[in-house]
Structure 1
Amino acid sequence: MDKKVEILLFEDNPGDANLIEEMLEEFADFPYKLKNVETLNEGLNLLKEHPFDVILSDLRLPDSDGVDTFLEIYGINSRVPIIILTGMNDERIGIDAVKSGAQDYLVKGQVDGRLLNRSIRYSIERKKAEDKIQGLANIVESSDDAIMTESLDGVITSWNRGAERIYGYSSEEILGKHISVLAPPLLVEETKELVERIKRGERIRHYETSRLRKDGIIINVSITLSPVLNDFKKLTAISIIARDITKRKRAEEELQRSEERYRIVTGHTGQLIYDHDLKTDKINWAGNIEEVTGYSPREFQEFSFEAWTGYIHPGDREFVLEEKCKIRKKGGNYEGEFRFRKKDGTYFHAEDSEVCLTDETGLPYRVLGVLKDVTEKKLAVEKLKKSEERTHSYLQNFRGIGVLLDGNFVPIFLHGAIEELTGYTKEDFLSGKIRWHEIVEPEDRSELQEKAQKMKNTPNMTVKHEYRIRKKDGEVRWIHGIAQNISEPGNKELYQGLLYDITDRKMAEESLNKMEKIRKKEIHHRIKNNLQVISSLLDLQAEYFDDERVKQAFRESQNRVISMALIHEELYESGETGTLNFAAYMQKLLEHIFRCYDTGDSEFHLLLEIKEKTFFDMDTAVPLGIIVNELVSNSLKHAFPDRDEGVVKIKLYREENGGYRSNIVDNNGVENTKEENKNTDFVMTISDNGVGLPESINLEQTETLGLQLVSILVDQLEGELELKRNCGTEFIIKIAIKETQ
């Protein structure tokens, strides 16, 4: 910077002002002039009278405080770069000021001369670049072309009215968004490549491509990309000028389509157009002759009428010749189908339409006609006929019900084992004597009607549903129904569906489920018995040791086994196979622990606060039970030395995140409903009012087996463990659990 930089400093602290002046004297590598003011009003008046190149401002002045100080200065002249000076406690305010338009902020006590020098230079140069870009944007604001600027990382920084008209976005909607929002999905990489070419120093002019409007319409544009350089000839941004050439492109395409229409009609639709001069017997052909017949156009043009009809299949030839000769003698029209032999000897099915023109005397002189290859159509008709035959055979043997319904879900067509499935006749339903929903079990009707209404509101939607009906004789049967909305816009509503009897399958599933529950219940019973055997073995083994510490270790292991055995006992007695009422289990577990640590005549109390019906699965209940066993046992063993009373408290509560029910429609439009549960955040606290844990115990590096086990199990549950020693001991365990009921 060769020009002397005029600097205005807002600072009421003489020490801070002198420090800024000293840093500038030592480190500024540009000529400058510094003016210091101590109040906001003094500085604002000075700004009205004298231009400055940069402003340094403290936010706490005698007559102003906080970000409002910056806003007042910025409101006087937003074109002057402003650098905020903040205390360490005001750094948040400095950030807010930058968001509002300040160029930078510096923290007092952390800034040095080099940083101050660099910040001033950076702020001035960046402001110049911004002003230059803004100036260019103002010049072209009224242009009909889209003129915009993007940063080097692809963010749109300016947007004129022409761009708003062409792309449909207002400046408020588009500024700050990535340039890729304007690119169709297939051209995102092309957009990146254009930017890279500019960065490599290339110039791109009148590049034709496609862009995406806000309304989703793809338009054709011609774009010119130019680099935006700062005073040091360094690339800072990219300017883009885009012209909408959609109308021109459409005109070109329409012209091309017009030129090719004749060729497309005759060539790509399997049609040949012919003009037969009856006086010369010369036939002129047009179209893709070689593709349809196998003959070259030159060969085909040389065929006379007699030669040409000689290629008609012998089985069709006599009738065709008779009809064609009639109109060539009397005039009129002819339409017919026949088989025509190709050059390779195979035949194709031809659809022939011709008109015979007559002169003023009524004599035929010219025949104009179209010959079309309808082989695929004929094959399709044959396939359709076979398909209809197969469908008819299928319906004859179909054991379900096929149904077609009107807009009120009244059947207008029924086919299949209607009476066998319902006990009612087809006429009962078609006449309205009995409605289908009347035979649906009452508790299943609402969900069936709900799905029917969704299908009614969604064209082409297909739904599947299983429900029960009651036959005429009172027997209940399970039905699997598939229905689809086949209504078309502007036409009457129609629905089609199939109904199957799945009672046998449902009964089999129910039997399997009962067997599975019995099997799992028996497994829980056996596991419980085996765990109790292990507990008894531990108890017997402990009797062989005199060392009290060894006996205690066996007792603790025995309690851990019992905590798991109680879970299987609870599952067995409750009849559940995989979910556990944790409240009932906790009550049994704590009663067992208190029995093991006989407190005699001492007044020790247990407080248990847990919702009566809290259900967990095995993977959660087992580790939680062991955790409770370890921590409550620790309290009873160590928390109340030389005391005859105490309180141990266990509390389990939750913070609901809630669940939701989702209706999912697959790629075929079939709706499936399923339940989804979000995790529930549970907090368990285990506390006592005893002497508390020693300060030397560290949960992360504990040497005791019990606390090590607690830490491992909390990690297994992906939870958090916290220890408080305020009044006694309190363990806080936070875990996220998906409840099962």
Structure 2
Amino acid sequence: MRNKEDPNRKNIENQIKILSESVELSNDAIVTTSLDGIITSWNKGAELIYGYPAKEVLGMPMAILDPPILVGETKELNELIEFEEQINNYETLRLRKDGKLINVSLTLSPILDDSEKLIAVLIIARDITKSKMAEEKLMKSEELYRIVTEQTGQIIYNYNLIADKCSWAGAIEEVTGYSFEEFRILGKYIWITKIFPLEEPGIIIKPFTKRISGDRFSEELKFKRKDGTFIYIENRGVLLKDDYGHPYKAVGVIKNITDLKNALDKIEESETKYRSFVQNFHGIVFQFDENFAPVFLDGAVEGITGYREKDLTSRDGWREIIYPADLTLVLKEEEKVQNFSSSGYVNIEYRIKHLDGSIRWINEILQKIYRVNGKHVLYQSTLYDITERKETEKFLVNIETARKKEIHHRIKNNLQIISSLLDLQAEKFDNRKFIEDSEVKEAFRESQDRVISMALIHEELHKGGKIDTLNFSQYIEELANNLFFTYRPGNACITFDKDIEKDIFFDMDTAIPLGIIVNELFSNSLKYAFKGRNKGEIIIRLSGGGKTGGNIDSIEGRKNEDCNGSIFILSVSDNGVGIPEDIDIENPNSLGLQLVVSLVDQLDGELELKRNKGTEFTVRFAVPESNNTESAESLLQLADND
């Protein structure tokens, strides 16, 4: 009779068989060792990982797998298992049969008998060499990524919207003041505790919700740093969405834009001030490049010129409206500024043609400026409309001219009254039967002539266009003609010749004494030079003798030695009887010659007398440049131009 098999035993045997087969088929190394470290079992997985077949290692110490740098580690682990229930995921190095080192993850478990006594050790090993290499590459990549992102000065984040978790990298401490570890711990709470909208910095925002639309986003926010200060940040990135269009991740960059924001605020403030300035600025601002081509134009362009800005922004746009007579002046001043060795400016006044046909006066301040280390040249011009000022100046000039002419007219009238009074007084003496040619009557007549010579000067000034200077060339001819008509002997044939340079102008300080000198010398020739003769000739000459510093040393040595002006020569000569030898020109007895000597001295001049074939008086004198110019000429020119 066959004994029936025990079903429990059969079941156990099957389980053991399945377990044995599983151990053999496992890719992990499954090894058992005795307590003293001798290998008692070795599966196929161990053969694949370590390179030893079972027959070569059974009965051998497990320590054959210890690399030289870890000698004794297996023994230490076996000893440790006596006190531990299990050692899990212990990563270490093992030495293959071919001499290669591999990374393994070990799990050590105790094997107990029925009495719970430790009798062996089970060691399961997994080859993690490839994953370890991948991990090292990842760590290197992450380190490189961390270095690069830190150098950008920005923070990079990866926000998992589904898991509501956020990871960070980059220049965290530089931007926020927090260390990387502090920031990592804060995680997603950064968004609700440190980041605020610009408009309401006290309001908490929920990241990446209704504020963000589309796949890409860019916004300006405020960030509260660790020290409590606020900075401006720019949050820019992309939203990753699933197949249904629902965002599941946000990847972006946070950048500190505080300096940029402050700079933009300052620019905006400057622009606001500039706009306010331009709105209240009643001039025009030009800027030109090194070739004098306009690069910028602003201001009251239409108000001053009538033209639009675009009409004047070409190189010749502005020049086309400059009054033709003034264009040469403007170009000359521009050339002067171009030739400046460094920054400098010129001030120009000229006229422009307004669009409506009127003429406007412009004051331009043109300057040379530099940029970028002085290598690039720019020209800047500020223009103002000064038409009203010019018209006022013209009005004042006309008033001043009329006033001075009226003064000359009144002086001339008063001098004529004095001349008439002298004439009346002379007739009074004549009526009292004084001797006809008495010295008293002659004195009245000479005084009358002197007054008339001065009155004639004021009459010329009143009639002429000049108010401070006199055309002495014209005056001397008229004075000589009047004297010639007054003193010419009845039966004598006296001729009068002139050699007078045209358009010699003197001011009043020179003209009046010089006029009296001509009066005295010319009248003396008429009265005394031709007594007892039937004919004769008188010649008056006036010419410029050159600039001071020339050949007339006697003039240079006088009071005008510091004068920068012109030398003039006046001579009155006749071919009459000649002046008596006993008359000393340095110390004359007659009142007329005394007056001549005194007036020549007043002019800082030199008087010379020649007695050859008659008489010739020559006066040499110097006139400073300031006295020989027409002092009101510039203002009069202004009035004439308009």
Q: Give the superposition deviation at 1:626.
A: 0.3
Q: Does 1:543 align with 2:396?
A: no
Q: Give the superposition deviation at 1:402.
A: 1.3
Contact 1:560 1:626 in 2 (8 A): yes
| 1:397-445 alpha-carbon deviations (Å, 9 max, x no partner) | 1111112112232222121111111122122334x39711111111111
Q: 1:740 aligns with which of 629, 632, 640?
A: 629
Query: For 1:696 and 1:658, how far apart are their aligned partners in 2?
Result: 34
User: Match for 2:407: what amino acid?
Assistant: I
Aligned ranges 1:403-552 → 2 under 5 Å: 403-430=286-313, 432=314, 435-458=317-340, 459-488=342-371, 491-545=375-429, 546-547=434-435, 548-552=438-442
Q: Give the superposition deviation at 1:726.
A: 2.2
What's 1:603 paired with?
Answer: 493
Q: Secondary structure at the match of 1:534?
A: helix
Q: Give the superposition deviation at 1:325.
A: 4.6
Contact 2:347 2:363 in 1 (8 A): yes
| 1:497-525 alpha-carbon deviations (Å, 9 max, x no partner) | 11111111111111221222222222211
Query: For 1:706 and 1:425, how far apart are their aligned partners in 2?
Result: 72
| 1:238-293 alpha-carbon deviations (Å, 9 max, x no partner) | xxxxxxxxxxxxxxxxxxxxxxxxxxxxxxxxxxxxxxxxxxxxxxxxxxxxxxxx
Q: Does 1:326 align with 2:179?
A: yes
Contact 1:718 1:735 in 2 (8 A): yes
Q: Give the superposition deviation at 1:702.
A: 1.8
Query: For 1:590 and 1:322, how far apart are their aligned partners in 2?
Result: 100
User: Match for 1:443: what amino acid?
Assistant: A
Q: Give the superposition deviation at 1:658.
A: 9.2
Q: Secondary structure at the match of 1:641?
A: coil
Aligned ranges 1:260-299 → 2 under 5 Å: none
C-alpha change, 1:587 and 1:572, in structure 2 (3 Å) is: same
Query: For 2:535 and 2:458, how far apart are their aligned partners in 1?
Result: 33
Aligned ranges 1:136-535 → 2 under 5 Å: 323-326=176-179, 390-430=273-313, 432=314, 435-458=317-340, 459-488=342-371, 491-535=375-419
What's 2:579 paired with?
Answer: 693
Q: Secondary structure at the match of 1:633?
A: helix
Query: For 1:434 and 1:650, how far apart are their aligned partners in 2?
Result: 56
Q: Give the superposition deviation at 1:380.
A: 13
C-alpha change, 1:635 and 1:414, in structure 2 (3 Å) is: same
Query: For 2:450 and 2:308, how far apart are their aligned partners in 1?
Result: 66
Q: Give the superposition deviation at 1:709.
A: 0.7
What's 1:212 paired with?
Answer: none
Query: For 1:403 and 1:576, how far apart are their aligned partners in 2?
Result: 39
Aligned ranges 1:633-648 → 2 under 5 Å: 633-648=523-538
Contact 1:539 1:555 in 2 (8 A): yes
Q: Give the superposition deviation at 1:323.
A: 4.1
Query: For 1:450 and 1:571, how far apart are their aligned partners in 2?
Result: 35
User: Match for 1:444: what amino acid?
Assistant: D
Query: For 1:622 and 1:464, how far apart are their aligned partners in 2?
Result: 38
- TM-score when normalising by structure 2: 0.52
What's 2:483 paired with?
Answer: 593
Q: Does 1:707 align with 2:590?
A: no
Q: Give the superposition deviation at 1:635.
A: 1.7
C-alpha change, 1:534 and 1:328, in structure 2 (3 Å) is: farther
Q: Does 1:579 align with 2:579?
A: no
C-alpha change, 1:322 and 1:597, in structure 2 (3 Å) is: closer
Q: Give the superposition deviation at 1:594.
A: 2.1
Percent of aligned positions that are identical? 49
User: Match for 2:333: what amino acid?
Assistant: K
C-alpha change, 1:554 and 1:413, in structure 2 (3 Å) is: same
Q: Give the superposition deviation at 1:641.
A: 2.2
Q: Secondary structure at the match of 1:493?
A: strand
Structure 1: 5+ residue stretches without partners: 1-318, 341-378, 660-676
What's 2:522 paired with?
Answer: 632
Q: Give the superposition deviation at 1:561.
A: 0.1
Contact 2:548 2:567 in 1 (8 A): no
C-alpha change, 1:449 and 1:328, in structure 2 (3 Å) is: farther
What's 2:61 paired with?
Answer: none
Contact 1:428 1:434 in 2 (8 A): no
| 1:27-56 alpha-carbon deviations (Å, 9 max, x no partner) | xxxxxxxxxxxxxxxxxxxxxxxxxxxxxx
Q: Give the superposition deviation at 1:570.
A: 1.4
Contact 1:639 1:690 in 2 (8 A): yes
Query: For 1:658 and 1:702, how far apart are their aligned partners in 2?
Result: 29
Q: Which is greater in Rg?
A: 2
Q: Give the superposition deviation at 1:322.
A: 9.5
C-alpha change, 1:590 and 1:556, in structure 2 (3 Å) is: same
User: Match for 1:719: what amino acid?
Assistant: G
Query: For 1:393 and 1:735, how far apart are their aligned partners in 2?
Result: 62
Aligned ranges 1:720-735 → 2 under 5 Å: 720-735=606-621
Q: Secondary structure at the match of 2:547?
A: coil
User: Match for 1:732: what amino acid?
Assistant: T
Aligned ranges 1:95-110 → 2 under 5 Å: none
Higher relative contact order (CA 8 A, sep 6+): 2
What's 2:254 paired with?
Answer: none
Q: Secondary structure at the match of 1:690?
A: coil
Contact 1:692 1:729 in 2 (8 A): yes
Query: For 1:718 and 1:382, how far apart are their aligned partners in 2?
Result: 72
Contact 2:548 2:622 in 1 (8 A): no
Query: For 2:583 and 2:375, how far apart are their aligned partners in 1?
Result: 79
Contact 1:407 1:495 in 2 (8 A): yes
Query: For 2:498 and 2:266, how far apart are their aligned partners in 1?
Result: 76
Q: Give the superposition deviation at 1:705.
A: 1.0
User: Match for 1:688: what amino acid?
Assistant: D
User: Match for 2:536: what amino acid?
Assistant: G
Query: For 2:337 and 2:456, how far apart are their aligned partners in 1?
Result: 50
Q: Secondary structure at the match of 1:487?
A: strand
Contact 1:469 1:478 in 2 (8 A): yes
Q: Give the superposition deviation at 1:321.
A: 11
C-alpha change, 1:460 and 1:689, in structure 2 (3 Å) is: same
C-alpha change, 1:586 and 1:424, in structure 2 (3 Å) is: same
Contact 1:521 1:575 in 2 (8 A): no
Q: Does 1:681 align with 2:567?
A: yes
What's 1:716 paired with?
Answer: 602
Contact 1:479 1:499 in 2 (8 A): yes
C-alpha change, 1:435 and 1:540, in structure 2 (3 Å) is: same
Q: Give the superposition deviation at 1:719.
A: 0.5
C-alpha change, 1:337 and 1:536, in structure 2 (3 Å) is: farther
Query: For 1:380 and 1:517, how far apart are their aligned partners in 2?
Result: 59
C-alpha change, 1:652 and 1:323, in structure 2 (3 Å) is: same
Contact 1:608 1:649 in 2 (8 A): yes
Q: Secondary structure at the match of 1:692?
A: coil
| 1:605-630 alpha-carbon deviations (Å, 9 max, x no partner) | 21111023222221111111100111
| Structure 1 residue ranges (4+ consecutive) displaced by more than 6 angstroms after TM superposition | 319-322, 327-331, 379-388
Contact 2:488 2:526 in 1 (8 A): no
Query: For 1:476 and 1:328, how far apart are their aligned partners in 2?
Result: 77
